[in-house]
Amino acid sequence: MKQPFLELRDISVVYPCPGESLCVVNRLDLQLEQGEIGCLLGASGCGKTTILRAIAGFEPLQSGTIRLAGRELSGDSQQIAPEQRGVGMMFQDYALFPHLTVEKNIGFGLRRWNKQERAARVDEMLELVGLPAERKRYPHELSGGQQQRVALARALAPSPSLLLLDEPFSNLDVDTRERLAFEVRDILKQAGLTAILVTHNQAEAFAIADRIGVMQQGQIVQWGTPLQLHEQPANDFVADFVRREALLSQRAQALVRSASA
């Protein structure tokens, strides 16, 4: 039987609190095939970012295992250091270095590569994200969407096996975030990369993801395609969440349109 490329099996993450412990992720399972884009969708505090941090190696597991390409990253037998996991991460605030140009930001994680290989890889990433003409500019000279694409190029440059994206569109306006979600999906598919996105915005999730996990209180209550979530919700919570988020997205777009009119 073929193993999934990414597998989270029965994982729990517990935070120590005064007087008791808080279970943030509770016996969660997730599987993703190579080249797929997954999404963890849910309200703030449901545990979705904690899952990303556990995959990246920043949070230890209370129980369960995380495997990537057949290799155990976290579990009873071992805990691989974050820098040895082959996992890239794109943060909510992009975390670009303001004193470095676009090309130097993208090449930051390639310092151990020789000069010729590093330059070639930076050129390749600039072409992939459509910013070859911006290579000598600084982050403050770019639009929000351009900054996001620089951050994506920097995360992709070291050729990670898996890319984690933590609310990458949250700093952008409604119209820009949905347009860029489609652009990011195209870039990831062109690169053939496996990725997991975390968001509370259904429009982003449906624009970018092949499979979506709707989360509630540290668990995935349904893991399926966007079509399955719409047409075959697993329970009332999923049905209400999808319907409510769709309505909020429509209202937000209407407000943006009326404000710009």
Q: Which domains does the chain have, with CATH numbers?
A: 1-86+162-180+189-260 (3.40.50.300), 89-159 (no CATH)
Per-residue tokens: 88: 């890239």
| Mean pLDDT across the chain | 88
pLDDT over 60 at 248, yes or no: no
The Cα–Cα gap between 7 and 11 comes to 10
pLDDT over 50 at 254, yes or no: no
CA 11 to chain centre: 19
Q: What is the pLDDT of residue 247?
A: 52
When pLDDT is averaged across residues 231-250 and rounded to a whole number, the result is: 78
- Paired residues of 87 in beta bridges: 162
Judged by DSSP in three states, 46 sits in coil
Under a CB-based contact definition with an 8 Å cutoff, are residues 63 and 11 in contact? yes
CB atoms within 10 A of CB 94: 19
pLDDT over 90 at 18, yes or no: no
The Cα–Cα gap between 69 and 20 comes to 36
pLDDT digits (tens, 9 = 90+) for 152-193: 999 999 999 999 999 888 877 777 777 888 888 999 999 899
pLDDT over 90 at 241, yes or no: no
pLDDT band at 249 (very low <50, low <70, confident <90, very high): low
pLDDT digits (tens, 9 = 90+) for 78-126: 899 999 999 999 887 778 999 999 999 999 989 889 999 999 999 999 9
Q: What is the pLDDT of residue 257?
A: 43
Judged by DSSP in three states, 200 sits in coil
Place of tokens 């990537």: 68
Q: What is the pLDDT of residue 77?
A: 78
Under a CB-based contact definition with an 8 Å cutoff, are residues 41 and 223 in contact? no
pLDDT over 50 at 213, yes or no: yes
The Cα–Cα gap between 122 and 163 comes to 18
Q: Residue 95: CA atoms inside 13 Å, Cβ hemisphere, count?
A: 13
pLDDT over 60 at 55, yes or no: yes
Burial class (CB in 10 A: 0-12, 13-18, 19+), 113: middle
Using alpha carbons only, how large is the chain's radius of gyration in Å? 19
Write the single-letter amino acid at 254.
Answer: A
Helix (H) or strand (E) run with residue 27 in it: strand 20-32
Better pLDDT: 252 or 219: 219
95-100-104 Cα angle (round to 5): 95
Please indicate, yes or no, whether the overall pTM of this predicted structure exceeds 0.85: yes
Q: Are strands 162-166 and 87-90 parallel, antiparallel or unpaired?
A: parallel
Closest CA to 42 of 208, 193, 147, 167: 167
Under a CB-based contact definition with an 8 Å cutoff, are residues 252 and 243 in contact? no
When pLDDT is averaged across residues 75-79 and rounded to a whole number, the result is: 86
pLDDT over 90 at 142, yes or no: yes
Better pLDDT: 130 or 253: 130
